[in-house]
Structure 1
């Protein structure tokens, strides 16, 4: 269902999107989780429309707030719902080509239903925004506003990749990568799943991983089809799938996954092991463990022992270990745009410490270790691996290699590790390294 045809919505997409954005801002949850609360009772077309509005607004949040703060000096102190309704309206008029009068009228009608005292204020603010533009030039501030990224990220990626590559990365972050299907061979065969999806008008193309396919088009999203709910395939990013392949587990291995929830990589490892051997899946959150247990059950995984524990000091001995570390998620801006606006350097430094502790623990306790992040940051990736001093094993890959030097710090094993980038590989940004244990 379209958000608007003649200026009147039967289902006010803008109102639901404002609720979703308010919840994301208040509780720090994902758009998907927030939509499940507010739009779960609607059909998939309405949920899709709300998701699109929410994600597209979040992608451009800095520019949208630039318009609003210059039109309303007290914007930050406004009611949370009103703030996000204004954001949705600005997204419509500035970036969705909705006529400004229609975007304004819709927002005013919605706010009148909830609290009429805000109606004249909403109208006045949006009338001011209508005549505003952002100056386009080569300054970091202008690039940040026109390519919709924080100024620190613009400066950082200029330094890391060079100006041209950095701009291509930021442009790619505005476009969601294609979905990827990973066939779960614990419950079905590649041939059966491909045939099922093609019969359901899902257009697939192969990737360099045999059980992973890129979705080129669909009538219904493959996540909404029956075989997905039965666990015969999952939706999983291509670079994420490569992490488990890099570990290369054998059926007789003991594998420890030190930050296992939500369990997607754990389930892939189990599949590669044919449900044989033993996987110990560790996580420090009882709630995430509960969800992971349910997911692994759905996917038919039987060789996993789930443990509540801290990956920094969990005591174990194993053949192989995976450290899919908590990180800044700077490689996932295309699918998680809200993360762009919540980056905190203090938390970043604390996360670096956790990553290094987990990595040291793994290298002490396993013969081989794969370390992975969904981050583009040198500090979380090459610098962390270099600080451990363990031997780096060269990974074969169609993706890119690592960063040789950044801010005076060299990484001699740059040609042995792996990086994926949204603008080069049509998937999330990942770093993957394989190390020998002590």
Structure 2
């Protein structure tokens, strides 16, 4: 049997080299193993990535050229440090496991791995200031710590950062195109899944399970999906009705598109647009699985795609700063120059949507003011008030005032047990 640590090191290497999600990497590397092994590998991978800056803080103090190491060895060391510093594995056992693996994979580096881990065992966090201390002890980039303190105040920023360290709850969205709410609930409860209702009739929080609900046949058959609570609300904010013409300008992988189709009872017309052939291929498979029949899928640029519709959704590509709890690897790949380019794309998509639809829902899985309230200011959007149990928007940030703060919606991990989302409803341009 291959040790969990070895498989997890391969997963982390794939995530680092290919820039793919942990879920995708685990499926590729560990897909042939049973669900218990896959679960263990996923846990090791995600918990190591969650703490990556602190783990690398220890390793760089021990190995000056740490970043130049063989990628597999680098990630094997990270997993061993995770075990000894954060998983309560005795340091000698963590070191021994890593040494056994490296003997098999690259025996010339046994001495290096053994020496590095014995040195790391003696180290503690060494921070030079309060921001670095928070960053290293709560496993977030320093820029994010500074930004959230400025956005929310120190106390709430720390609550958000702590919440990002917890695995978020799973939510079930019943797909009423293929199954009834009552039938799906009975099916899952009979299999030991305990659920509780949310403010949306078809969405339920998973309280406990013996086997994850994503492992059951009805999930594969599309009778329910696993989808974040705030993500589900985006489609409700659009309020699509049977007979509407709806355009989704950043549609792949199709979760919100399929939800919109369900709310429309598979009637009317949905045009789902995405600029990636690979994502469109996956979306077509997902749409078919979920029994959606009123969607036309188009390869196109959401910034320029010409259309006329009743309603449009811009669930924009974004920094994903609201998804750090479920996708911790995203924390370490943020780039300000790329961020500025993303904001520019969001504004183009938003302007295009407002030009083509009577009503527009604009959403991101980001906490950043620039991607959210700032974009609505930039395009001069006319904001319609949304009601929900979530929070309201940000009134002011870095001298920029957002007057419609009480009309838009924000969700936060520390307040709502969901990803961080921004959701707004807008009137289209007068034509």
Residue 23 in 1 paired to residue 14 in 2? Answer: yes
Q: Secondary structure at the match of 1:178?
A: coil
Q: Is the 8 A contact 1:319 1:366 kept in 2?
A: yes
Tell me if structure 2 keeps the 8 A contact 1:181–1:234: yes
Is structure 2 residue 388 aligned with structure 1 residue 397? Answer: yes
Per-residue deviation, residues 148-207 of structure 1 (Å, max 9, x unmatched): 000000000000000011111111101111100000000011011011110111000000
Give the aligned partner of residue 121 of structure 1.
112
The alpha carbon displacement at 1:390 in A equals: 2.2
- Mapped contact 1:86–1:107 kept (Cα < 8 A): yes
Mark the CA change 1:70 to 1:137 in structure 2 (over 3 Å): closer, same or farther: closer
Native 8 Å contact 1:281 1:305 kept in 2: yes
Deviations, residues 299-337 of structure 1 (Å, cap 9, x unaligned): 000000000000000000000000000000000000110
Number of aligned positions between the proteins: 429
Runs of 4+ in 1 over 6 A off after TM superposition: none
Mapping of residues 236-251 of structure 1, within 5 Å: 236-251=227-242
Query: Which residue of 68, 89, 96 maps to 1:77?
Result: 68
SS at match of 1:431: strand
Q: Does residue 217 in structure 1 map to residue 208 in structure 2?
A: yes
TM-score where L is the length of structure 2: 0.99
Deviation at 1:74, TM superposition (A): 1.3
Paired residue for 1:198? 189
For 2:380 and 2:27, the matched residues in 1 are separated by: 45
CA distance in structure 1 between the aligned counterparts of 2:341 and 2:126, rounded to whole angstroms: 37
Where do 5+ consecutive residues of structure 1 fail to align? Answer: 1-9
- Residue 184 of structure 2 corresponds to residue 180 of structure 1: no
What is the correspondence of 1:221-232 to structure 2 with a 5 Å cutoff?
221-232=212-223
1:138 Cα deviation (Å)?
A: 6.4
Aligned partners of 1:289, 1:12: CA distance in 2, in Å? 36
Match of 1:41 among 26, 32, 49: 32
CA contact (8 A) 1:371 1:432 kept: yes
**Distance in 1 between the 2:158 and 2:126 partners?**
17
1:158 counterpart = 2:149: yes
| Distance (whole Å) between structure 2 residues aligned to residue 375 and residue 390 of structure 1 | 19
**Separation in structure 2 between the aligned mates of residue 295 and residue 390 of structure 1, nearest angstrom:** 33
Pick the aligned partner of 1:68 from 49, 52, 59: 59
8 Å contact kept, 1:136–1:146: no
Return the alpha-carbon distance in structure 2 between the equivalents of residues 42 and 352 of structure 1: 41
Separation in 2, partners of 1:289, 1:76: 35
The question of whether the paired residues in 2 share the 8 Å contact of 1:401 and 1:416 is answered with yes
Residue 135 of structure 1, CA deviation:
4.3
The structural deviation recorded for 1:42 is 0.3
Distance 1:282 1:135 in 2: 49
CA distance in 2, matches of 1:40, 1:120: 32
Distance between the aligned counterparts of 2:332 and 2:6, measured in 1?
A: 22
Instruction: Find the aligned partners of 2:117 and 2:210 in 1 and give their Cα distance.
Output: 37
**Residue 248 (structure 2) aligns with:** 257
Alignment of 1:289-438 (within 5 A): 289-438=280-429
Which residue pairs with 1:4 in the alignment? none
Task: State the TM-score, normalized to the length of structure 1.
Answer: 0.97
